[in-house]
Amino acid sequence: KRWAAKDSMGQKMISFVQDLQVVGPKTFKIVLKEPTGLVLSALGKPSSNVPFMMPKRVAEIDPSTQISDFTGSGPFVFRKEEWKPGDKAVYVKFPQYKPRSEAPSGLAGGKVARVDRVEWRAIPDHQTAINALLAGEIDFVEAPPHDLYPVLKADSNVRLVTLNPLGNQYTFRYNTLHKPFDNPKVRQAVMWAFNQEDFLKAVIGDRQYYKVCQSLFPCGTPLESRKGFDAGFLVESNVAKARALLQEAGYDGTPIVLMHSTDLAVLTNLAPVAKSLLERAGFKVDMQSMDWQTLVSRRAKKDSPAAGGWHAFLTSWVSADILNPVMAGFLNSACDRAMFGWPCDQEMETLRDQFARETDPAKQKTIAEAVQVRLVQYPTHIPLGHWYSAVAVRKNVTGMIEAPVTAFWNIEIKK
C-alpha cells in the first residue's frame, strides 16, 4: 500500500484491487475487481519505486514520510552506523540470508553475496575516481564519464562492461501548472524546437553509446512505434513550426525557468542545449544552475516560477522503467496525483486505463500507439533519445549481472 500510493504503476494496479489478504507468514493474496495484466509486471518492476519487502512497522509509515529504518530482505545489511551521507555507505554480508537455488538472472534467481563487505564511496571529481581505479585503490566505478572511456580502455588492468543493454532515455519535463506551459500549444512548440542528436552529442559524444530513437517507448522493445510522429519529428529541429505554434498560442515572452543540474556528468550538458534550442525558437530562457539534490527538492514545489518554482528540467529514465503507458511515470496525467509537472488530462488517463485492462499484446500495442499520438497533442514530456553506459572495473572483479540497475550479489574479487 505504501508503494502503491507513490508509484505510477502501483497507483494504477491498486485501482484494480478489491482486497489484499494475508494468507500466512510468507504468502499474501491479491483479489482483483476485474482482470488486468498489470500485477506481475508492477510487482516485478526493476528500478524506480520498487515494491521492496519491508517489516510491517516500516511499511505502515505514512507514504509521504521518508523512512529511517532501512531493514529489507536481501543478502546484504546496511551499516547505518558507518553511513556518512554524501561520502560513504557500507553494506556487509548477511550470514542468515538463504538465496534461492537458481542461478542469478537479472534481478531474479539466487542472490549469493560472494564478498563480505561493499563500500560505496562518493568521489565527486570524476578524474580522481578514475585515478583511484587505475591505481587499484578501488575496484569499481559505476558511471565513469564517457569522455574518459579512452583512458580506461588503454589500461590493461581495467575493463568496461555494459550491464544494462536496454539503456536509458533522456527526457525533458514540463511543469504544466504555470504559464506558458499550461498551454499545450506552447509545449508542442518545444517538441518541434528540439532534436535528439544535439542532446546526445553534447553529453555522450560517442555514437557507440547513444541512439536517436523516434519513439515514445524504448527502441528495440515491443511497443516501439513512430505512430503520430512526423518524418523529422525529434530528429531535426523545425524552428519555423515551433515559432508558428508560439505565435498561435500567444506566447508573451514569459521567461522559461529551466533548472540546470551541474554535478552529474550524464546530465550537466543537457540544459545548455535545451536553452539554445528554445531561444532559437523564440523562447526567453532563465537557466538556473544547481546541484541535483537541490533540483530534486525544488521540482516538488508547485509554487510559481517567480516564487521559487520552475518551468522545466531534464533528467534520464532507465529504459526498463518506461516500457509501457502505465509504467512510464511521466505519462501519469492524474492532476495532483501525477508526478512533479502535474499534467492533467482525462484522455491520457482513459488510454492508460484501457492499457491496464487489456491482456492481448497486439491490442496493447494499438493502445500504446494511441498514447503516443495523444502525447503530441497534450505533451507531458519529451523523449530525447537513448544512451548507454558502462561500468569500469578492475579485471580481477568477476560475476557482474546484466540488469537495469547495479547489483552487488554474485560479484567476486579474484586474488
Closest CA to 35 of 18, 21, 22: 18
Q: Please provide the CATH number assigned to the domain covering 168-387.
A: 3.10.105.10
| Contact (Cβ atoms closer than 8 angstroms) between residue 110 and residue 93 | no
Closest CA to 48 of 110, 16, 6: 6
How much is the mean pLDDT over the chain? 95
Q: What is the pLDDT of residues 290-303, one digit of tens each?
A: 999 999 999 999 99
> Residue 6: what residue type?
K
What span, in angstroms and rounded, lies between the C-alpha atoms of 319 and 205?
20
| Contact (Cβ atoms closer than 8 angstroms) between residue 176 and residue 375 | no
The per-residue pLDDT for 101 is 95
Q: What is the pLDDT of residues 206-226, one digit of tens each?
A: 999 999 999 999 999 999 999
pLDDT band at 340 (very low <50, low <70, confident <90, very high): very high
The per-residue pLDDT for 64 is 85
The per-residue pLDDT for 415 is 81
pLDDT band at 121 (very low <50, low <70, confident <90, very high): very high
The per-residue pLDDT for 263 is 86
- For range 337-363, the mean pLDDT: 95
pLDDT band at 26 (very low <50, low <70, confident <90, very high): confident
| Contact (Cβ atoms closer than 8 angstroms) between residue 121 and residue 138 | yes
| Contact (Cβ atoms closer than 8 angstroms) between residue 187 and residue 354 | no
- For range 175-180, the mean pLDDT: 98
pLDDT band at 161 (very low <50, low <70, confident <90, very high): very high
The per-residue pLDDT for 389 is 93
Q: Identify the residue whose cell numbers are 494511441.
A: 370
Q: What is the pLDDT of residues 27-85, one digit of tens each?
A: 999 999 998 888 988 898 887 788 888 999 999 999 888 889 999 889 999 999 999 98
| Contact (Cβ atoms closer than 8 angstroms) between residue 301 and residue 273 | no
pTM for the full predicted model: 0.85
Cα pseudo-dihedral 301, 302, 306, 308, rounded to 10: -10
pLDDT band at 304 (very low <50, low <70, confident <90, very high): very high
Q: What is the pLDDT of residues 269-285, one digit of tens each?
A: 999 999 999 999 999 99
Cell representation of residue 191:
517538441
| Contact (Cβ atoms closer than 8 angstroms) between residue 244 and residue 251 | no
The per-residue pLDDT for 1 is 84
Q: Where are the domains of the chain?
A: 1-68, 74-162+393-415, 168-387
HSE at residue 260, side-chain half, CA atoms within 13 A, is 18
The per-residue pLDDT for 9 is 86
Q: Is 94 helix (H, G, I), strand (E, B) or coil?
A: coil
Is it true that the peptide bond before 184 is cis, omega within 30 degrees of 0?
A: no
CA 197 from chain centre, in angstroms, equals: 20
Q: Identify the residue whose cell numbers are 529511517.
A: 68
To the nearest 10 degrees (0 to 180), the angle between helices 196-203 and 270-280 is 150
pLDDT band at 182 (very low <50, low <70, confident <90, very high): very high
The CATH topology of domain 74-162+393-415 is D-Maltodextrin-Binding Protein; domain 2 (3.40.190)
